[in-house]
Each structure stands twice: as C-alpha cells, then as structure tokens.
Structure 1
Amino acid sequence: MTHPTHSTTGSRGKGFPDSSADDSRTVTGKRRIAFAVHTDGDRLPAVATLLRSLALTNPGVCEDVVVLHPGLPDSSFDALRARHPRIVPRRAEGRGDVLRLEGYDTVVALTPSMVVLGDLGELLRMRHGVGAVRQSLDGGAAGERWAVLPDGLLVVQRADVDDALAARFADTGDGSGGDGGDGGLDAALGEVLVPVDARYDFLTRRLHGDTPVPAQVAVLRFTGPFDEPGYGPAAEARRRFEMSDEEFRAAYRAVPGAKHPDLLAHLALPLLRARPSLDLARTVADGYRRQGRYDDAVDVLAPVLGDRLDAPRCQETLGLCLMALSRYEEAEARLLLAAASPDVAPRAFAQLARLAWILGRDEDAHAYAREGLEADPTDAGCHAWFVRTRPGTGPEPPGAARPAEQLAHVALFAEDRENAGDRVLPEAVRLCFGPDTGPRRWYPQPVHRLVDEAALEELNARSGVIVGGGGLFLPDTSPNGNSHWQWNIPDDVLARITAPLAVFAVGYNVFDGQLYRRARFAESLRALVERSAFFGLRNHGSIERVRDLLPAGLRDRVRYQPCPTTVARHLVPGWTDPARRSDTVLVNCAYDRAGLRFGHDYGHFLGQMAHALKELRGRADVRYAAHMPDDERFVPDLRREHGIALPVEQLYDLSNDAIRDLYARARLVIGMRGHAGMIPFGCGTPILSLVSHPKLAYFLSDIGHPEWGLSVHDRWLGPRLAERAGAILDAHPAAVTEVHGAQELLWETTRSNIGELREIFGQA
C-alpha cells in the first residue's frame, strides 16, 4: 500500500522581544495554517471588518493572516496590525496565488466581501484537496447549473496542489469577476475539489426581500454593495463588526469562550493602558502566564492589584508568576493573601507548599499542605504535598555512606502516580555507574529545589555531581528565574560548585511553537557548559539546538550521550531477554500540552488511530500503556468517537522492574511519549513512535531508523501505521535483531563516556 508523501515547509519563528518560538514543524510534521485574503487599497477597510468578525466569532483561533496585495506600501497594513498580531503582507499577482503560498500547509482563503458569523473549526480540520462551495448559477431555476465561483471561499491543502493545477486555476478563475461557469474552476480543480457545505460561503443574493440570515451560516459573502436595499438583515449582520478599535477590543474581551493568548494580549493590553481595571489586568496576566511571559504578567497585574484582600484569584495569579521568576518572598506574600479566601485557599496552600519545598523548608511545606487539607480535605494537590513532605522523607535517608563516597544526582524524581518514565530514568542514570542505585551510593538533589548555600555545601561534599537525565532544557513544568530551565540554580552558585560536574543525557525538550526566553537561558547555559567537566545531550537534535545558543568556543564541548533507558539490557543486573513474548501490542499517547502536540488535528489523529487499531486487533492483543493518569484520556475518547475499547495497563502504578518486564514481553510498542519509545527499545522491543514532539524524531534519526516514526499530523497516519506495524509483526525476529543492532551503537557510546566519567569522579 502506498500513500502520498506529506511534506511541510519550515517557517519563521514567532515571539515577542527577547523571546522566540521554537519551530520544529519540519521535524514533527505539524501543520502550519493560514488565512489569506487578496485585496487592494480600496478594500482594506472591508478586510478590517473581516478580521474583527473572525476574532469575535472564533476567539480561540489565531493563525497567520496573509494579506495578498498588488504592491501596497507596508504602512498600508498598520491599521490591520492593530487588530491582529499575525498580519503577513505578501505581494501577489492575483487571488490565485493562494494556491502557491510558501511556508503553509493549509490555507483558508477568504475575501473582503465576507464576514465570519460562526465557528470555522471544520475548515481548519480539513486535510485533503481544495475545499470550495459549489454555488447555483441560476438562482434556483429548473435545471440550474452549479459551479465554484472565482471569488469564493477556498480551503487549500498545499500538498494536493502542483504548479499545473495552480496555473489552470489562475487561467480560469483568477479574475475579479466572471461566474466560473462552463466547468471553469470545477474543471481546473478536478479531482482535488472537495465540496464544502454552503454555510461556509453563503451568498447574500439568496436573501433578497430582507430575508433573515439563517442561523447556521458561518461565512456570509456579499454579492452586491454592503448596504444594498432589500438585504437589511445581511447588512445588519455585517454592521455588528463595523466598530472602532476600542469597541472591538472591549467586544473581544467580553466574548464568551476560550481566547487565544496571543490575540488576547494584543487586543486587551491597549484597553488596560487606557483604563486600568483589576479584572482586565488579571485577564491579560493570565494570558501572559499561559505563554510563559511571567515578567510581563507581573508588570501588568502588580500595579493595579496592590495589597487588596478582595481579589484572591488575582493575588494567586500574581503569586504564581512571581514564583516562576524566583521572586519567592514576594510570591509567598501574595499566595498568603489569596489563601485568606475560602474559595481559593486549597489551591493557594498547595502552591505555598510547593514554594516552601522549593526553598528546602519541608516543615513549612507540610504545614501549608495541612492547612489546605483543612480547607478542603479532598484537594489532591495539598494531599500530594502533605505526603511528600511528611517527616522522614528528606534527602538524607538512613544508612547513607560518607558524603565523599557518594555521587550527587540532580534529577526529576517522580513520586506516587506521576510519570512512569520519570521514575525509570533516574535509576537508569545511576545504573550506568554501578548496580547500587540506593542511598548508600547516591545523594539525591531534586532538580526543582533551589540550590542555596546549604544545598551547595551538600553538593560540594560529594565526589561528583551528575545532572540528568531527562528533558530538563524546558521553560515550563516548574519555571524559575534563576536559570530559565529546570535546574533551579543561580549563576553565582553554579560558579562555586567545586565537585566535578557532569551533565548526562539531558534533552532540549521545547515543543513546537513554545516560547522560550532565550537571553537568560543562553547566559545560564553558557555558565553551565563552562563549569561542566562533561556535557552530554541525549540526541543530536538537542546538540544542534544547544550549540546554536553557545559562543563558538564552547560548542565543541557539547557531546552525545544517549538516554540510558535505551541501553537497559546492558545496565540492569541479571538481565535476560524474554524467551517468549506475549502476543501484545502496547499503545501510548500523551496529553500534556495537547494544543502544542495536536494543533487542530486531534480529531484527525483519533480517527486515524481508530483505523490502525481496528486492523491491528485482528492479529494481536492491543492494550493501552498509560505512563500517567492523564494519558488515559485516549481510551474514553476512542471509545466515545469510534466505539473501540482498550484495556489499560497503568504503568504509573508499577515498579521499574515491572515496567521494563511489561515492555520487554510486548511484541511491539506504539508510543507518543519519549520514554514510551526509549524504554521498550532499551528492553529490546520493536517500536513505532507517534511523533508530536521533535525529541522522538531526533532519537529515531540517531539510531538510523526514521521510518519507525509517524507524525500525528500525517494525513495517512492510519493506513501507514497499520502497514508498518503489520510488517514488524510479520517479521518479528528480524525486527528485534534490528533493535539490538541499533542499541549496540548507543551502548558503545555510553560505555566510553562512563569510562571517562569514572576517571573524572576518581573511580577508575
């Protein structure tokens, strides 16, 4: 079975001053979507009305708006830029250039004669062909003719348009008029034409005699003047979006539904400057916080909020942002103000417990968690911190060796029902240095805890400090203002580490489109590389991204150290490959940062997975492997939408040995999480990766098997996944041999690096 190859084109990064959005769509296959409108100078006011209608009816959508024009000066678009943060002017010969827009995978072409009245989600989810509405040419007469009109809505999938089709389109339908009859545009589009419901390109000529606009209309297109007599309801529908900029901003703020943070910040900030209000300040600050713009959130909210006791949610938001900037004393004060409200108290006390734990104040953290449970005995966050900080759970367990005989391990140590991969990984790192992974040999330093003077003294007392592994180069999860990645260490403290320091199998884990405050991170990264005796990243993709942030003199110090979970067969004492495997295929999906993973394609992904799993269930026991409770969302979604029920293996409740055993005995693992690929691979099990994050593609490239990965955005994901999975099951012994062979290369690198590190730590 063969399917068309889907390709994507790299695109420019987006962001704000001192920020950038990492754009890895060429790695993950994530679609880049744009709206496009062709205009001249006279129709720019109509384009402004179109933009307002789009924002007010689809408040959670903020894609590029490409304005095609015949050569207008750049200043012509300033008014549009005030209304939308992603205006992209491009000179074009005509409207037909929407079929040739470079840098985008899907283009929704609108016209200045349109207004948007409803949800456009269905158009954004289209994946094939060129969508258009076939319109009546005869106004309902008997024997009427139907055709695609040249100035109508188009939904273009660039992968389905070649130069010949674009030329035919331009020849037949790129004029400003014409009716497209006699098979014109229909013939030009041919088999790629995908009919779209008329509600997405509803013509006002159907509303003569002041007929009301039907409620289901999503896009209304005017076929005459906007104020033409006899079309009063249509004109009134459009007039709703003819407003001043200030009225537009206020209307966007008031519109119900989730709002896109870029659009929210762009439109709400001018209102806040003109008339400061606490409610609006919190709205803007929440948007900034979701983007990781914590300093901007503080600048917006703090001056308006003050020490008010009647705004606990605002105090909570401000406290969280201050904590993300490592302004801990101020954050604690704000969260205490928030905790005075019974409605907010449980959440605020959970955050206070986390803050106290970050600062090494376990007794205070335990007390805060207890207060939160007194406010709400069912609060999960407070319960987790109450258990985590109870007496006897500190970092110095009984039976430890003398500090000089230990290695310090800085890592994310998952607990309870947290991510199974984050529990397997720290043990795998330690196994690289011997079979004893417990407290006698190792001193644990949780990566998110502040390295203060006391912690620095503990680290320096050890024979070496290992930071790793995991995707610690990440701006969120537990943000801090000291390093802007996951290790919470100020530069001046880092400079005073005297024990040998090794960064081991760390990954650059930034998602597609995720904002990263590069300046502070780059400074802290440079200090880390300079201080490290060994600096190893877990894939070459991470190596390239990190080297780009370093001065030339430090780049060669960044080297390759695979994730140790990928060589588990060589590390786990007494390991034996299973004599017999179960007839099981394990499937895993990830839902953290789902918007960044799936974009507009989650429904498509679910449908394609249903297609593949239906085929696989005929030849294997297909089960779901959940690394954490949130992963289980896939199971009810699949059952609800496609009637497929899967049994669940809850890996987050298993021991590390049980996790490895489950993966080792499976015949195939299809995983979206990084460690849903690396752990089974390390156990010798064939894998297929569902790529929604660059790190999966980086790993497959390193082992020379990019064909083991499929983008979650792949238009043919279902049949391709079924085909590749079937091929592995048909030739399973050969597939296992390929895994073992690829693993040997990783083990060779790891073994060499371990030998070097033993000398660094005085263990040779």
Structure 2
Amino acid sequence: MADITEQDPTAARDGSGGAPARKLRLFHFDIKTLGNYGDTLLFEAVRQVFNGFGDGRYFEVTDARPLRDPVGPALVRHINEHADAVVVGGGGLFLRDTNANSRSGWQWNISLNLLRQIEKPLIIFGVGNNRFIDQEDFAPPFVEHLNLVMEKSVFFGLRNTGSVETIRPYLEPSSRDRVEFQPCPTTLSSYLFPDLWRPELPDERRLALQMIVGKRQERAGFSADAIYTDVLEVARRLKGDGWTLESVPHARADLGFAERAAAAGLVDSEVRLFNDPDGLYKGVEHFAGLPFILGTRGHAQMVPFGMGSIPLSLLVHHKTGYFARDIGHPELTVDPRQDGFVDRLHAAVNEAAEHRVALRAELAEARAGFFAQTLDNLASIYQRITGTTVVPSHTPYPPLARGLAARAFLQGVHRDTADGRVRSLTADLAAAREQVPSGLDGPSWLRRRAREAVAAGDLATARTLWRALDAVVDDGTGRAPRPRWDSGALRLVPAPLLEAARDLRRR
C-alpha cells in the first residue's frame, strides 16, 4: 500500500517518472444534484480523484451521464467509440426503491442486453450497499445484473467493509474475492482540497446537528418523533454543559428536525448545504473548522470526517455502523433502539470532546489509510487496463482549477435538469400518441380529447394531449390554432393554478 502516514497539503507526490502508455478517457455514470449535499460533493470528488492521479497523466473523465436515466443504444455506441473505460458511482447505489426499475434492480438504469453490449471495462468505484435495516431484499434481475457487472468490471470497489461483506453473497462464488474496499472519495477531502483543510482547531465545544429519520426507517420500527424528541433533550443537556450547537441540514428532508430544534431555541446558527448554486465546496469549507457533528446520514459522517471533524451518528441505517467500524471507532455510533439512549448519546458526545486531541489524530491516521488505499486502487486499475505499472501519486486541483470545476459542475446540473424535462415531456407525448386508436385521424382525435379534458377542468391532461400533436403531426398541417389557455404568457402558468382560477370564475 502507498505509504501516506501524515497530511502534507503542499506535497505533490511523484509518479513513475516516465510517460505512461496513454491517458485513459473515462466515461462517468454520475448524479449531479444540488438537492443533497453528500451527492453534490461526491461525484465531483470522484472526478477529481481520477483526474489528479499521477499529476493528471493517467486518467481523464471526459464525459458523463446521470446513472438513474435509462441507458439507450445510442449512448452505448458513444461509450464504445469514445471511452477507454466506464466509471460507475460512487454512492449508495445498491438500493431497490430509489430509482426503482426492472432493468437492473438497483439504481444504475441499464438493461442486461445493453450492459452486455458495452465493450469497455467497468470501474465500480466507492459504491455502497444502501439497503435499510429490515428492508426487503433486492428484486429480480438484481442478482443476474450484478454478476454481469462484476464479469465486465476491471475493478469492483465498495465504500465500506460492511458493503463488501453483504454484497458478496449475491455473487457467484468464483467472483466474491474480487470485491475490494474503495473508500468514498468524500472521506479524502483534506487531500483533495488541502488549502481548505485546517491541521489544528481551537479547543471548543461546538457541535453541528443533522437529522433525518425517514419512512423506510419508520417501517423498520424507528420513530422519527421519539428520536427527534430524545436528540433535542440531549441538545438541552449539552447547552447546559456549555456547548454551542448549530444546524447543518444536508437536504430538504432534514428541515423537519432543523425547524424543531430552531423552534426550541437550541441551535445558535444554521448552515443549509443544499440547493446552493455556489455550494459545491460549501460543506467542506464549513467542516474544516467544525470540531464535532452528530447526524444520521452517511455523508454527514463521511464529508466531515474527510475534513477533520469528529463524526458521531445514530445507528438508523447499516451504513452508519459500517463506517464507524471502518474508522476504528464503533462507539461513535449510538443505537436509539437500546435502553438509556439519551444518557448514552449525551455521554458519547462529552467523551468525544474529552478525548478530542487523541481522537482527531487517530481519525487522521484512518483518513491517511483511506487515501493510500485509494491511490493503490487507482494504480491497480490503470495496470489492469493498460498493462503498465505506475507509482501511486496524486496532485490536487489548485484553487483556480477547482473553481472552474465548480462552474462546470453547475452547468452540468442545469444540463441534466433540462435533459430530464425533455425526456419527461417526450415520454408524455409518446404515451399520448399511443392513445390514438388505430384507423382514426390522430390530430382530430387528440383535439377532441383535449377539449373534453378542458370541459372537465383537467388542464394538465389537455396540455399533454395538445402537445402530443407535435408527435402525431410531423409537418404542422391540420393543427388548429393553439388555445388561449396554452398560448402566450399563460403557457408558463402551471395547470393547477389555471384550473383554480377557472373554478373561481365559475363560482
């Protein structure tokens, strides 16, 4: 393993010294979003991990598409013609009900047939088994799809040892040893953004709070209300102990707890990390100066850990326990189902503060191990594809390049959002077109159905039917003038608003 024993933000570790055979062009199946800070940072961190390896001599991420979108034949042809390898992930992609689809059984939305047609090696990088506690098992064709992914992979790296252990049983026995450990790139943030990292922090009792207990956890027997109530009681005790508390919601779903904490007067400030157009590095900058955080999201552990914060968490998902074990401190995760939860959580926070110097040093050593493991993995990936052995090294983006990457990221978010709207509209039009009975005049039938929908007060359906004329009538002939409720400025008014206005006028 690469020898990295301490943080050296200024060192650009040397590579092999010779020019590699070639720079590999990587196609990345990613998720660009501003709605969940962990994912906001994650996929850009993956890109910077690969692009910075060997001072940029060995890999370049040249293209990307959202992994939750259906993969079509044209994209597979594009990959085969223009890429040398395909990176999938990271993230908790092994989950059946986020982006539920019958093509794969997990979040990557590619059919078995098209997966077989990809001619380039796959790199599964920092992916996690995200099944919730007591959640039902994966549905078909997950096992067949997973084994085909493994067959086509040159590297199959999962982000915690718990995922390694729990995914192996789904694989053919001959492939199980090929599952490797690849830490989530967000845990390497102090190495990716060294100018933002702080080697020392003031000795202060300051704790950030992030909480979400969702429906899937409640189905497993967790009570959001009970857990939030207990955590707020711990917060009251900590305030009495002299702690400063702040709220750091990672996504909109975290606001339920955040608002309760604010209403109770228990938080001194709030830093919202989601839906910020300039927020790609907002979290890592904030966590660089934060001593402690308590959360329930996996990335509320991993991102702060990556910048030196001490991450405490609740065991409301397997992954929080997996991560705490991997960093050598399972005691930092507290199970709310066990008796005496309030007392145990209060004690865990104060004990972490009491041992903060030693704990921070131990976590830095764990982070260095994660970074060394990642560099060794990248060297192995390059060697497996090209046959060329290289010395593991990495050069982080300088601030200017990182700023340009943030601009490119934001443009990618806008592009993917616009593409998603086009795909949604195309699907609506195709569905409407299929409604035209055979033997009937399509345009006339659609116009009649649109008028019927208007008469029934259903403008949303009427708009979909009217726009389906674009799919049915290719040359624009036979199309009536656009109706008043779908022309001019009114086209921008949401259908429910127009429907409400119509109802009001009738009354």
> Does 2:365 align with 1:746?
no
Q: Is the 8 A contact 1:668 1:686 kept in 2?
A: yes
Q: Which residue of 2 aligns with 1:713?
A: 337
- The Cα of 1:591 is off from its aligned counterpart by 4.0
Report the alpha carbon displacement of residue 663 of structure 1 after superposing the two structures with TM: 1.0
In 1, distance between residues paired with 2:60 and 2:376?
A: 25
Q: What is the aligned counterpart of 2:218 among 593, 596, 604?
A: 596
With over 3 angstroms needed to count, the CA separation of the structure-2 counterparts of 1:716 and 1:734, relative to structure 1, is same
Q: For the structure 1 residues 704 and 645, does the alpha-carbon distance in structure 2 shift closer, same or farther, using more than 3 Å as the test?
A: closer
CA contact (8 A) 1:431 1:572 kept: no
Select which of 278, 299, 320 maps to 1:696.
320
Q: Residue type matched to 1:562 in 2?
A: P
Q: Residue type matched to 1:664 in 2?
A: A
CA contact (8 A) 2:47 2:61 kept: no
Q: Distance in 1 between matches of 2:355 and 2:164?
A: 34
1:567 aligns to 2:191 (yes or no): no
* 1:633 to 2:256 alignment: yes
Structure 2 equivalent of residue 513 of structure 1? 134
Go from structure 1 to structure 2 and tell me whether the alpha carbon gap of 1:404 and 1:560 turns closer, same or farther (over 3 Å shift): closer
Map of 2:116 onto structure 1: 495
Q: Give the Å deviation of 1:517.
A: 3.9
Partner residue in 1 for 2:63: 443
1:665 to 275, 289, 297: 289
- The aligned amino acid for 2:32 is F
Q: Larger Cα Rg: Structure 1 or Structure 2?
A: 1
Secondary structure at the counterpart of residue 406 of structure 1? strand
In structure 2, runs of 5+ residues without a counterpart are 1-21, 391-507
What pairs with 1:595-614 in structure 2 (closer than 5 Å)? Answer: 595-596=217-218, 599-614=221-236
Q: Given the superposition, is the C-alpha separation of residues 413 and 639 from structure 1 closer, same or farther in structure 2, using an over 3 Å criterion?
A: closer
Separation in 1 of the partners of 2:100 and 2:155?
25
Residues 604 and 646 (structure 1), Cα distance of their counterparts in 2 relative to 1, 3 Å cut:
farther
Partners of 1:466 and 1:756 in 2: how far apart? 14
Whole-angstrom distance in 2 between the partners of 1:529 and 1:440: 23
1:103 corresponds to which residue? none
Identity between Structure 1 and Structure 2 (%): 32
Aligned residues: 358
Aligned partners of 2:104 and 2:140 also within 8 Å: no
Corresponding letter in the other structure for 1:490: S
1:422 is aligned to 2:45: no
**Using the alignment, how far apart are the partners of 1:746 and 1:543 within structure 2?**
15
Q: How does 1:85-124 map to 2 (within 5 A)?
A: none
Q: CA deviation at 1:718?
A: 1.7
CA RMSD of aligned residues (A): 2.5
Q: Distance in 1 between matches of 2:25 and 2:347?
A: 50
User: Of 228, 237, 259, which aligns to 1:615?
Assistant: 237
Letter in 1 for 2:97: D
Shift of residue 648 of structure 1? 2.0
Give the whole-Å Cα distance in 2 for the aligned partners of 1:621 and 1:724: 16
Post-superposition Cα deviations, 1:514-567, rounded to whole Å, max 9, x if no partner, equal 223444111111111111111111112111221111121111111111111112
Within the candidate set 434, 458, 468, 2:89 is matched to: 468
Contact 1:583–1:666 (8 Å) recurs in 2: no
Q: Distance in 2 between matches of 1:495 and 1:740?
A: 42
Q: Secondary structure at the match of 2:117?
A: coil
Q: Does 1:554 align with 2:182?
A: no
1:409 corresponds to 2:31: no
Indicate the SS of the match to 1:714: coil
TM-score by length of 1: 0.44
* Larger RCO (CA within 8 A; separation ≥ 6): 2
Q: Distance in 1 between matches of 2:222 and 2:61?
A: 48
CA distance in 2: counterparts of 1:735 and 1:573, whole angstroms: 20
Q: 1:727 aligns with which of 323, 329, 351?
A: 351
How far residue 639 of structure 1 moved from its aligned partner, in angstroms, is 5.6
Q: What is the one-letter code of the residue matched to 1:710?
A: V
SS in 1 for 2:127: strand
Q: Secondary structure at the match of 1:407?
A: strand
Q: Please tell me whether the aligned partners of residues 309 and 360 of structure 2 are also in contact (alpha carbons under 8 angstroms).
A: yes
**Kindly tell me: are residues 621 and 547 of structure 1, through their superposed partners in 2, closer, same or farther at Cα, counting changes over 3 Å?**
same
User: CA separation of 1:441/1:550 partners in 2, compared to 1, >3 Å: closer, same or farther?
Assistant: closer
2:448 maps to which residue? none
Question: Given the superposition, is the C-alpha separation of residues 719 and 434 from structure 1 closer, same or farther in structure 2, using an over 3 Å criterion?
Answer: same
Partner of 2:154: 533
The superposition leaves residues 53-82 of structure 1 with CA deviations (integer Å, 9 ceiling, x where unpaired) of: xxxxxxxxxxxxxxxxxxxxxxxxxxxxxx
1:574-629 deviations in whole A, cap 9, x for unaligned? 45425445753111112443543773533331232122111222322201110011
Could you tell me which amino acid in structure 2 is paired with residue 695 of structure 1? K
The question of whether the paired residues in 2 share the 8 Å contact of 1:688 and 1:708 is answered with yes
CA shift at 1:668, angstroms? 0.3
Tell me the secondary structure at the aligned position of residue 337 of structure 2.
coil
Identify the residue that residue 458 of structure 1 maps to in structure 2: 78
Q: In 2, distance between residues paired with 1:441 and 1:494?
A: 20
Once the two structures are superposed, residues 308-356 of structure 1 have per-residue CA deviations (whole angstroms, 9 ceiling, x without a partner) of xxxxxxxxxxxxxxxxxxxxxxxxxxxxxxxxxxxxxxxxxxxxxxxxx
AA paired with 2:294? I
What code does the residue aligned with 1:680 have?
P
Contact 2:50 2:60 in 1 (8 A): no
Per-residue CA distance 1:256-298 (angstroms, 9 max, x = gap): xxxxxxxxxxxxxxxxxxxxxxxxxxxxxxxxxxxxxxxxxxx
SS at the partner of 2:358? helix
Counting only pairs closer than 5 Å after superposition, residues 227-626 of structure 1 correspond to structure 2 as 406-415=25-34, 418-435=35-52, 441-460=61-80, 461-572=82-193, 574=195, 576-581=197-202, 584-593=206-215, 595-596=217-218, 599-617=221-239, 618-626=241-249
2:38 maps to a residue whose letter is: G
Deviation at 1:665, TM superposition (A): 0.6
2:196·2:285 contact (CA, 8 Å) conserved in 1? no
Q: How far is the alpha carbon of 1:647 from its aligned partner? A: 3.0
Distance 1:595 1:695, change over 3 A: closer
Task: For 1:472 and 1:498, locate their aligned partners in 2 and report how far apart those are by CA, in whole Å.
Answer: 22
Tell me the TM-score normalised to structure 2 length. 0.66
CA distance in 2, matches of 1:412, 1:592: 21
AA aligned to 1:457 is R
